[in-house]
Amino acid sequence: METKVIPHIELFTDGGAEPNPGKGGFGVILSHKGRQKEFFEGYELTTNNRMELMAVIVGLEKIKTKAKVTVYSDSKYVVDGIEKGWAENWERNNWIKKKGNLVLNKDLWERLLNVIDEHDVTFNWVKGHAGHIENERCDVLATKGINSENKITDEGYLEYLEHIDWYQEQKIEKEGDTCRKCNTAVIKKSPKKRKIKPGQNYYYEYYLFCPNCKVMYMVEDAKREVSDDNTLF
């Protein structure tokens, strides 16, 4: 039985907004066996990070068969978000960060994780504006998107703007606030006594804890400067 060969494709991306937030655009190059295809798109109102994410998403979605894809991006936000496992952790925690803050650009991170599952994808960071041929070309394409006449509405960003007060207000700050993951009232707990680590300048006297789903929230009001006795408390 003949084994199907999985193609190896290189995906080069760049995105930006002018100003940030402002008019946005992204550029994509797909390269396979010396042949390249280019894509770009513009958006009426968006952010740098959303365009960097969208560039990778659209590039991967253009690939219609399972492939081994190497992504090259100058966005640490995107590369580290995947390679360091941040996005997967956010997804497991219902898109809530450790300190209780909501993850921005959830809609695009979800879309990116879904399309990554369809391929074998690795991410590589490249320094922007440093002479990398494909990265420079993607920057040109992104600028074309920004300056294009028929720009798209970034619905996800508009939804964020409509609920920005809610995003800013949804912080876990005190005992009795409801957990973002399961809506159970959080309680105050104190960590066990432990030694100071080298270079540690502060510690948390207490943390807020959800007794139902076990999520822990670190809050600014609990932050204390390290004393001179080399113990936290």
Instruction: Tell me how far apart the alpha carbons of residues 24 and 22 are, in angstroms, rounded to a whole number.
Output: 6
Instruction: Tell me how far apart the alpha carbons of residues 31 and 214 are, in angstroms, rounded to a whole number.
Output: 45
Name the residue among 62, 57, 64 with its Cα closest to residue 112. 57
Report whether 154 contacts 50 (CB < 8 A).
Answer: yes
Q: Locate tokens 């007060």: which residue?
A: 165
Active-site hit among 52, 100, 119, 134: 52
Is 15 an annotated catalytic residue?
A: yes
Is 139 an annotated catalytic residue?
A: yes
Is 221 an annotated catalytic residue?
A: no
Active-site hit among 41, 74, 134, 154: 74
Ligand-binding annotation for 74, yes or no, is yes
Q: Beta strands of the chain (E only): which ranges?
A: 8-18, 22-32, 35-46, 68-73, 120-125, 187-189, 202-204, 207-209, 216-217, 223-225
Ligand-binding annotation for 139, yes or no, is yes
Active-site hit among 41, 81, 119, 139: 139
Active-site hit among 15, 16, 24, 42: 15
Instruction: Tell me how far apart the alpha carbons of residues 226 and 152 are, in angstroms, rounded to a whole number.
Output: 51
Active-site hit among 61, 129, 176, 221: 129
Is 14 an annotated catalytic residue?
A: yes
- Pairing state of beta strands 223-225 and 202-204? antiparallel
Q: Encode 190-214: b = buried (16+ Cβ within 10 Å), e = exposed.
A: eeeeeeeeeeeeebbebbbbbeeee
Is 117 an annotated catalytic residue?
A: no
Is 52 an annotated catalytic residue?
A: yes
Binding residues: 14, 52, 74, 139
Residues catalogued as catalytic: 14-15, 52, 74, 129, 139
Binding residues for Mg(2+): 14, 52, 74, 139
